[in-house]
Amino acid sequence: MKMTQAELDKIIAAGHVDLRRADLRRADLRHVDLRRADLRDADLRRADLRGADLSHAKLRGANLIDANLRHAYLIHAELNEADLGFADLRGANLRGANLRYAELSEANLSRADLQYSMGDGRRIKTLHCGMYHVVMWDDCMAIGCTSKSVDEWLGLSEDDIHRIDRYAVKWAKTWKPILEMILKAEV
How many angstroms separate the CA atoms of 149 and 156, rounded? 11
The amino acid occupying position 156 is L
Work out the number of other CB atoms within 10 angstroms of the CB of residue 170: 12
132 closest CA partner among 176, 102, 91, 94:
176
State the pLDDT confidence band at 97, using cuts at 50, 70 and 90.
very high
- For the chain, the structural domain boundaries read 1-122, 127-187
Question: 118 pairs with which residues across the strands?
Answer: 98
Whole-prediction pTM value? Answer: 0.89
- Whether 9 contacts 15, CB under 8 Å: no
Q: What's the pLDDT at 186? A: 74
State the pLDDT confidence band at 17, using cuts at 50, 70 and 90.
confident
Q: Which helix (H) or strand (E) holds 76?
A: none
24-37: average pLDDT? 94
How many angstroms separate the CA atoms of 136 and 121, rounded? 10
Q: Where are the alpha helices (DSSP H) in 114-155?
A: 150-154
Say if residue 18 is exposed, middle or buried (CB neighbours under 10 Å; 0-12, 13-18, 19+).
exposed
Query: Taking the alpha carbons of 137, 141, 147, 151 in that order, is the dihedral positive or negative?
Result: negative
How many angstroms separate the CA atoms of 92 and 71, rounded? 4
Question: pLDDT of 99-145, one tens digit each?
Answer: 999 999 999 999 999 999 999 999 999 999 999 999 999 999 999 99
How many helical (H) and strand (E) elements, i.e. helices and strands, does the chain have? 4, 4
How many angstroms separate the CA atoms of 67 and 85, rounded? 9
Q: What's the pLDDT at 1? A: 61
- Whether 50 contacts 73, CB under 8 Å: no
User: In this structure, which topology does domain 1-122 adopt according to CATH?
Assistant: Pectate Lyase C-like (2.160.20)
162-169: average pLDDT? 92
Q: Please indicate whether residue 12 or residue 21 has the higher confidence score (pLDDT).
A: 21
